[in-house]
Amino acid sequence: MEIPTKHLALSNYNKQYGHLLGEFLCLYGNITRQTLKKATAIRLSDLDDDSVVISFSLPDIPLPVDKIILYPEEYKGTPESKFNQMLLKTVEKSGKSLLKINTCLGPRTPADLAVLLVVPLPLVCYLYRPLLLWIPIIGNYLSENPNYILWIIGLELLCHLCESLTFIKPLMFRYSIAPDLQVEWYMWGLLEGYSPVRRLNAFAQPKESTLKDTLMNI
């Protein structure tokens, strides 16, 4: 691989798949999780016919560490092809995605906006009781027993919390979402319930599929 081409390839790999290099070190470089927690500035620093080099820094070592990792014998093809196969195996073993998401998607569709109107309704009715008179069947009963509205609000929050922990939390890990963005995703989860999960999957899956196809075809 020519030097300018190699530098461009390394830069592209680090930009697109840098979030996977820690898992790559654990799987192929025999780096422990304890060591990985202390590692910083992890990057792909070299790629040749026989091996890849992953560089990283540790607080108790003054110079960067260069970890040389040989390609498994079963992987054939160009250096990029072999490294791509290793990346795909890293994704399979770690449960992470080729795609790193660096954004939070708020409500966009009419259905999302409808949810935003309906979800706060119990709280609004509790604060402004005359609205209950417009609700058929149970409106009068709730107006006479406002404590039941508090139960509805509590159950709604509990359901949304369970949905967030069950569905949103695994996606935060899968798509390597930064902690500050995770806070935003969880806030939408507590407010809307399952809607953020649907938005995240709709946004990520086509891009994830494209990245996988790209790696498999190089």
Same domain, residue pair 160 and 132: yes
158 lies in some domain: yes
Instruction: For the chain, give the percent of residues with pLDDT over 70.
Output: 89
Same domain, residue pair 138 and 212: yes
- Domain with residue 12: its CATH number is 3.20.180.10
Q: How far apart are alpha carbons 166 and 186 in whole angstroms? A: 11
Q: Tell me: the pLDDT tens digits for 25-78? A: 999 999 999 999 999 999 999 999 999 999 999 999 999 999 999 999 999 899
Q: How many domains does the chain have?
A: 2
Same domain, residue pair 147 and 200: yes
Same domain, residue pair 15 and 39: yes
Q: What is the mean pLDDT of residues 131-136?
A: 66
Same domain, residue pair 130 and 199: yes
Same domain, residue pair 114 and 90: no
Q: Tell me: the pLDDT tens digits for 169-191? A: 999 999 999 999 999 999 999 99
Q: Tell me: the pLDDT tens digits for 86-118? A: 999 999 999 999 999 999 999 988 888 888 888
Same domain, residue pair 87 and 141: no
- Its domain, for residue 130, covers 110-216
Residue 174's pLDDT is what?
Answer: 97
